[in-house]
Amino acid sequence: MLAIGAGSVLACAGAAAQPAKPPRRIALLMPSSSGFSKPQLDAFMTRLAELGHVEGRNLVVEKRWADGKVDQLPVLARELLALNPEVVVAPSSQVAAAFKKATSKVPVVFTAVSSPVEQGFVASLSHPGGNMTSRSFRSEALATKLGEMLREIFPAARTIAVLEIDDQNMKVFRSALQANMAKLGFATEYVLVSNPAAFAPAFAQVARSRSEILFVGAAPMMVSNIRELIERAEKARIPVVALRRAFTASGGLLSYDSDLKDDYRRAAEYVDRILRGAKPADLAVDQPERFHLSVNLRTARVLGIKIPQSVLLRADEVIE
């Protein structure tokens, strides 16, 4: 009995002496400001914790914010990769493009990316084939639904201005949007900007085009400058339609986008699978099943716009 007891003590001592496993390390490059990103980041971190990856315990998360400055993305991407993360998270097309140029080996989990096949991020949705995967949405489907709703709200409108960043990564969405708007009888006036200093001349161009609607893209620079864009639109008395709910909450007329919190939760699940040994090349790209429609009736009343009941019935959120 004594021999058995001694053996047990030695076994326990040996187990206790084994070094603890080092924490896993991931990196996340947020394209917008920390304030705007917080709800999505919280959803991401919460889902990781539910899956057993807790920051400060068994997980290190290196975070950087670009604050809408697209030119900083390549620099920040290289900075994060130098920290040797096992997985990096890219929550926009611009961030994904920066990581694509910087690495072909470190797994990249993207989200809020449109048409990843056309942008060259993956070989196909079912078989990505490289180091990138996660959730995306189809530009064509989103542009079609958005255009149909705008035609219901503005039956007599003829021209829609599209304020978007001057970036090749958005070319696929711009083409899909223009084609679908043309089918619905809208002429599309593209106003491309490269930095916030270009907003003033951009709105002057919108005024010259006599556009009746202003569509604002989802690029990080736009999101980081929501207040200025809404104020300029209010002064010009032109309704803003956007791909991010934050615009509607700030005074825009309508937004139509995927549930960003759900997108980030899904990204966390991809990170979990990769940390457990899965390869991005074998993980099919997921697509959201539904989109979130938000309508600001207060803005509609100020601009004298009547929102059809057919649109209100489909809305997930109506701001009074």
Please give the share of the chain, as a percent, with pLDDT higher than 70. 91
Q: What's the whole-number mean pLDDT along residues 197-215?
A: 95
**120 φ/ψ sector (left φ>0, alpha ψ -120 to 50, else beta):** left
Q: What angle do CA 241, 247, 248 make, to 5 degrees?
A: 75
Segments making up each domain of the chain, as ranges: 24-137+259-282, 139-257+292-319
Alpha-carbon gap, residue 103 to 301, rounded angstroms: 50
Alpha-carbon gap, residue 205 to 211, rounded angstroms: 9
Please give the share of the chain, as a percent, with pLDDT higher than 90. 63
pLDDT for the residue 132:
98
Residue-wise pLDDT tens digits, 111-135: 888 889 988 999 999 999 999 999 8
Quickly state the pLDDT bin for 32 (edges 50, 70, 90): confident
Alpha-carbon gap, residue 167 to 94, rounded angstroms: 8
pTM greater than 0.85: no
Residue-wise pLDDT tens digits, 240-259: 999 888 899 999 999 998 88
Does pLDDT of 3 surpass 60? no
CATH for 139-257+292-319 is 3.40.50.2300
Cβ neighbour number for residue 51 with a 10 Å cutoff? 15
Quickly state the pLDDT bin for 177 (edges 50, 70, 90): confident
Which of 14-28, 59-73, 131-145 is predicted with the least confidence, judged by mean pLDDT? 14-28
pLDDT for the residue 136:
85
pLDDT for the residue 1:
42
> Which candidate, 33, 36, 63, places its Cα nearest to that of 48?
63
Does pLDDT of 11 surpass 60? no
Same fold flag, 24-137+259-282 and 139-257+292-319: yes
Which has more confidence, 240 or 33?
240
Average pLDDT for the chain: 89
Alpha-carbon gap, residue 234 to 252, rounded angstroms: 9
- Residue 240 DSSP label: E
Q: Quickly name the fold that domain 24-137+259-282 has.
A: Rossmann fold (3.40.50)
